[in-house]
Amino acid sequence: MPPLISYLPNILSCLRIMLALLLPFSPQDYWLMLIIGAAFSDFLDGWIARKWQVMSWQGAVLDAFADKFFMLIALITVATSGIFALAWLPAILARDLLVLLTVIYTALHAAWESFRQVKPRLSGKLTTACQFLLLATALLLPHFIYWILTLTILVSTFSALDYGSLFYQQVLHNKQPNH
């Protein structure tokens, strides 16, 4: 295996963070290209990590952070442009907000080992796909925005419930007392 392959998934995750930082300062005509680039890097980093077996817990955390950071910045950028209301963001980001609260909880209660056992779920991948679809629809087909917005909110809410159940089982229920 070429040495660069082992670093490529993390490089792609870092690229997604850079795209997030670039997006709000780019002309709206470039937003779709940046969003597609982020979606492609999200798919590609996971595919490369699995194909070449260069997965690591740290890489998974970086990937998840890059996904959530990009999505937050992109959704705020698109919403503040007036395409849809900022008030929709908590519902769109329900799964992401639950994950953030769980990370804070595990950090405060030193429950990292239980948190590390939580694997990505299909519902989470569908939420991310819907969020990317929502962004693309907002830019390309804004008259369909409420259909895709509703779908995204439903999938995100289901995913939050799915992850909430998993976090309860893995993190809260298996919590070991600190001595």
> What are 47-95's pLDDT values in tens digits?
999 899 898 888 888 998 999 999 999 999 999 999 889 999 999 998 8
Q: Is the pLDDT of residue 171 over 80?
A: no
CA dist 62 and 64 (Å) reads: 6
- What are the structure tokens assigned to 100, written together? 């953030």
CA distance readout (Å), 108 to 24, 96, 102, 117, 160: 32, 18, 10, 17, 21
Which DSSP letter does residue 83 get? S
- Per-residue pLDDT, 177: 45
Return the percent helix, strand and coil in the chain, to nearest 5.
85, 0, 15
Q: What is the pTM of this model?
A: 0.86
Q: What is the mean pLDDT of residues 9-30?
A: 97
In this prediction, residues 142-147 reach a mean pLDDT of 94
Quote the CA–CA distance of 115 and 111 in Å, as a whole number.
6
pLDDT at 179: 42
Q: pLDDT tens for residues 85-135?
A: 999 999 999 888 887 887 787 778 776 676 677 778 899 899 999 999 999
